[in-house]
Amino acid sequence: MRTQVAIIGAGPAGLLLGQLLHHAGIHNVILEHRSPDYVLGRIRAGVLEEGTVALLRQLGIADRLDAEGLVHAGVELSLNGQRHRLPFKNLIGRTVTVYGQTEVTRDLMQARTALGLQSLYNSEVVRLQGHDGRSPVVHYTKEGRAHELSCDFVAGCDGYHGVSRRSVPATALKTYEQSYPFGWLGVLSHVPPVSDELIYASSERGFALCSMRSKTLSRYYVQCPLEDTVEAWPDDRFWNELKLRVGPDVAAHLVSGPSVEKSIAPLRSYVADPLRFGRLFLAGDAAHIVPPTGAKGLNLAASDVAYLAEALEEFYREGSETALERYTERALRRIWAAVRFSWWMTRQLHKFPDDTGFTQKIRDSELTYLFQSPAAQSVFAEQYVGMPL
């Protein structure tokens, strides 16, 4: 079997790239190790920048997003129970939209199926061959049988642990990594959100986040030690701790209920450089990982594949590799900006084991300055909402 672009990974990055390439007239095949149900079962964030929303609208995949997405014109930050709203719309004239990553993935899956485009699920890519030259071959197994997919280019959208990143020689790849000494315990519950907008809370007990997936489905988080287990956090303990961290004003309006999903996620920052090795390109989590504090992961994946799709379109239209050669530089400029912002938010809002009275006072002072300075708020809003693609 042959295609122009083989896309490894059917998460939102791979599916979005597939749609962008199809609209440019570029044939592509997606290979995914897991089943569609497994992919849709991943619980992830869902704060979309305007650029990501615009891409989905451009592709005609935004009907449900426009009908069900929650447009947020601001966000709240809380310091020891004192809440401060940062009005993005007033500050910079832009907004974000809350729409779960699962729903984005579902919409992209349905759009691809409706177009009759080829997605090979339950297909394990075991090896890439020839991607350092001009004739890549993807070797994969499906239902116990070995297959080959020849292509012009390979797009690695299969995450940090995928075969794509592992196929780049260690000597050709420089990596940057920062692990954080805590995790996020997340709870999903069929209860109304405590606020119309997200609340990021910093307290002496640690960080908490009040977010949502819809008007009836809430997602809440508390910072916890990495060694904690889900079993150590029964629902009652979680709700009590969340109320202590968000302060009495928020706690008085918080509706608790049984959790329908509960998990602990470690926080880390990771960037690979370069993002191109011959005819193999890395995008999404294969290229970078950011803490969820800045709501950047899905949006970075969208910008990666938008840049890659533009470069591939130029190649097939004009025979030029100029944009392909610039893909790493262009993508990394945006990636590092998002990594810095996510790192800053994580440092500002969480308690660290090595905190001293001095470092805590400095962080409190910086947040207080943010609350009081319209200029600082505009800078924060611009980074949170995201720069145009």
Question: What are the catalytic residues?
Answer: 72, 200, 292, 296, 384
The residues, ordered by sequence, that sit 6+ positions from 386 with a Cβ below 8 Å of its Cβ are 49, 50, 51, 52, 96, 296, 299, 338
Which amino acid is located at 305 in the chain? Answer: V
Query: Can you say how many angstroms the Cα of residue 49 is from the centroid of all Cα atoms in its chain?
Result: 11
∠ CA(375), CA(377), CA(341), 5° rounding? 115
| Residue 113 burial (10 A CB sphere; 0-12, 13-18, 19+) | exposed
Give one word for 116, left, alpha or beta, with left for phi > 0 and alpha for psi -120 to 50: left
By three-state DSSP, how is residue 237 classified?
Answer: helix
DSSP β-bridge partners for residue 220: 187, 210
Neighbours of 23 (CB within 10 A): 14
Listed residue (108, 143, 81, 132) closest to 9, CA to CA: 108
Q: What angle do CA 357, 362, 367 make, to 5 degrees?
A: 125
Rounded to 5 degrees, φ, ψ at 384 are -70, -45
Query: How far, rounded to the nearest angstrom, does the alpha carbon of residue 350 sit from its chain's CA centroid?
Result: 20
CA angle 373, 374, 376 (to 5 degrees): 65
